């Protein structure tokens, strides 16, 4: 009871409904909107795990974009701030091949970018406003030409 007096209960953020054009029940179980993350349905959990983006292809296996990637090569990759207004700072987690249990965690300045040399097999996950979840989605970064 005292905890509720100190901090307000979790609840759905209408910002997401406004930004996505979807209703709250797209991501929350009907009647559970006031429970915040605890009231998320499968779509809402995927949306959250995808860095608050729909259709990110949240498969367990890393996804590779077109072009040269760390799936088959090593080289420099350039990461940019892709967070929208009001989404918070961009966060980036890099899992270097051979050391997936010791990821490198970065936050970028708004509007900034980060260029890193990556070895073959390296994957990354990113999100806005917080570190991405441990389960990803993990992707192979596109390398500079």
> Domains (ranges, CATH) in the chain?
2-49 (no CATH), 55-145 (2.60.40)
SS3 per residue for the chain = CHHHHHCCCCCCCHHHHHHHCCCHHHCECCCCHHHHHHHECHHHHHHHHCCCCCCCCCCCCCECCCCCECCCCCEEEEEECCCCCCCCCEEEEEECCCCCCCCEEEECCCCCEEEEEECCCCEEEEEECCCCCCCCCCECCECCC
Among residues 48, 44, 65, the alpha carbon closest in space to that of 140 is found at 65
Among 6-10, 17-21, 38-42, 54-58, where is mean pLDDT lowest? 6-10
Sequence-distant contacts of 7-11: CB under 8 A, at least 24 apart? 9/34, 9/35, 9/36, 10/34, 10/35, 10/36, 10/37, 10/38, 11/35, 11/36
Q: Which residue has the higher pLDDT, 120 or 1?
A: 120
Is the pTM here over 0.85, yes or no? no
Q: Which residue has the higher pLDDT, 8 or 82?
A: 82
Q: Percentage of the chain with pLDDT > 90? A: 28
At residue 75, what are phi and psi to the nearest 5 degrees?
160, -170
Are the beta carbons of 114 and 108 closer than 8 angstroms? yes
pLDDT for 31-72, tens place per residue? 777 777 777 777 777 777 777 776 665 444 555 556 788 889
Are the beta carbons of 52 and 128 closer than 8 angstroms? yes
């Amino acid at each position: 009871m005292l905890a509720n007096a100190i901090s307000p209960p979790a609840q759905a953020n209408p910002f997401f409904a406004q930004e996505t054009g979807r209703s709250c029940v797209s991501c929350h179980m009907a009647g559970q909107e006031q429970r915040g993350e605890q009231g998320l349905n499968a779509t809402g959990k995927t949306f959250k795990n995808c860095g608050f983006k729909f259709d990110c292809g949240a498969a367990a296996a890393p996804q590779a974009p077109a072009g040269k990637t760390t799936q088959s090569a090593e080289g420099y990759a350039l990461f940019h701030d892709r967070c929208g207004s009001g989404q918070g700072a961009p966060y980036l987690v890099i899992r270097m091949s051979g050391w997936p249990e010791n990821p490198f965690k970065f936050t970028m300045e708004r509007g900034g970018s980060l260029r890193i040399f990556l070895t073959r097999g390296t994957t990354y996950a990113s999100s806005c406003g917080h570190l991405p979840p441990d389960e990803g989605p993990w992707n192979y970064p596109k390398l500079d030409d």
